[in-house]
Chain A
């Protein structure tokens, strides 16, 4: 006999299941061993209020992404978490975020965001999740996970009287006291050595919190050593950069490198071009996500599952209260494209941002 509570729970799950593409067609490719799925969750900004209280809105975003990811069928091979798990890098936030993530039924690879880092320079994050940067291989694909939110030593070590202030200064994206993100010479040297062992025909996936491109410096949609990073990656036939931080859909193609951003589970950001006092440019390829509706708190937030085949990523964006989007690599044009809205004539009103 189901009681009311059980009924509500399963009804809730059914509603959830309806919102997720639970099954999808696997396409046949030349190298089936390079055809697999993984999920990508990013930017949850778990924010501590006091005691055991956390900002409910951000908690709900991560809880929902985890629950939906667990429902995927076929199951993803693993999950990548793209950074900014915490808001102000505290133990409370990282512990609470880790606890919510622990409900995931899959192995989870973690990347560092600036909100995780600038309080204690990633020390507590390391205790929970391990190395700040590393690489691994999966079914013939080489994955590199970076800490790409470092900045000038002078800013990190000499500018601020307290660690707490340093974190607060970096936490405001429009704060003129902030400092541009970078990978830095030390990690680039590590990457160079890491990639030296990899054949040029091996597909590469780079997980980075910052975009490894220069999009808009004022909000740190920016990587100071983007050119150096792109030069290291360029020699490989198919490179895929996945980045977080921007809380919005962006994509781009530079040479052999495809770039795709992740949605946040916490809140969406405006596109930089909507700030009237500066000139800024999105990658021209990008068809923006719909403008967010402030009356639905999960609108324009979400997570993505990624089908990797033939060395390229197709990103399925699971947007709440909004149409889902698919940005897939088009082998004919050699670039990522929106499956529905790429053509200028296919754009819709809500994609106009101003």
Chain B
């Protein structure tokens, strides 16, 4: 019974959106819980690259259709409060994740098209916002 559940979980993970890139394949590589300084450096660099792309998007008009950029109203990503999400938004009438608020601002001030939650651009924006907000304590639900 227990073994079957595990097999099922693995199948779901592989069949879902998160596919393992070849270089992370466990075959012939380090064991799952072993990583080196070089790995840490690389992972940090990967994050930095995505956050840098987020900053580029933040200050560029390409998310919208009217030439407006997020950074025009949110210098350094200020007033986006990523540490408060998920939280209740009065106008939505429910608890929302930050990517939904990102899409609100894309659709309205930028008159653009909403991004999918897992769009690399959406990930990059969130990486940038989280980076500008680093060190601030998590306060989910705070208005």
Contact = CB atoms under 8 A, between A and B. Distances in A.
Given A294-B104, A354-B81, A267 B76 contact: no
Interface in A250-269: 267-269
Contact of A219 (B59, B66, B75, B104): B75
Interface string B58-73: 0100000011100111
Given A57-B109, A276-B133, A267 B66 contact: no
Nearest to A171: B72
A233 B99 CA distance: 49
A47 B76 contact: no
A172 B132 CA distance: 16
A276 B75 contact: no
Nearest to A55: B66
Contacts of B66: 47, 49, 53, 55-56
A270 interface: yes
A135 to B, nearest CB: 33
A10 to B, nearest CB: 30
A166 to B, nearest CB: 16
Interface residue range, chain A: 20 to 34
A269 B132 contact: no
A294 B104 CA distance: 9
B67 A49 contact: yes
B104 A275 contact: no
A274 B129 CA distance: 13
A276 B71 contact: no
B136 interface: yes
Given A276-B133, A295-B91, A55 B67 contact: yes
A175 B56 CA distance: 12
A277 interface: yes
A299 to B, nearest CB: 12
A172 B71 contact: yes
A20 interface: no
B105 interface: yes
Contacts of A267: 72-73, 109
Given A55-B66, A55-B67, A274 B136 contact: no
Contact of A173 (B67, B75, B105, B135): B75
B93 to A, nearest CB: 12
Contacts of A297: 108-109
Contact of A275 (B73, B76, B108): B76
B75 A174 contact: yes
B132 A277 contact: yes
Interface string A172-183: 111100000000
A153 B76 CA distance: 27
A288 to B, nearest CB: 12
B79 interface: yes
B95 to A, nearest CB: 16
A294 B90 CA distance: 11
B113 interface: no
B59 A172 contact: yes
A276 B134 CA distance: 8
A53 B73 CA distance: 21
B23 to A, nearest CB: 33
B42 interface: no
B105 A294 contact: yes
Given A276-B135, A354-B81, A270 B74 contact: yes
A47 B68 contact: yes
A268 to B, nearest CB: 8
Given A57-B68, A267-B73, A268-B73, 12 more contacts: A47-B66, A55-B68, A56-B66, A174-B76, A270-B74, A270-B78, A274-B78, A275-B78, A276-B132, A277-B135, A295-B90, A295-B91
Give the 6 A-B residue pairs with the shortest CB-CB distance, closest first.
A174-B75, A270-B78, A270-B79, A295-B91, A274-B78, A174-B76
10 contacts: A47-B67, A48-B67, A49-B67, A172-B71, A219-B75, A268-B73, A274-B78, A276-B136, A292-B79, A294-B101
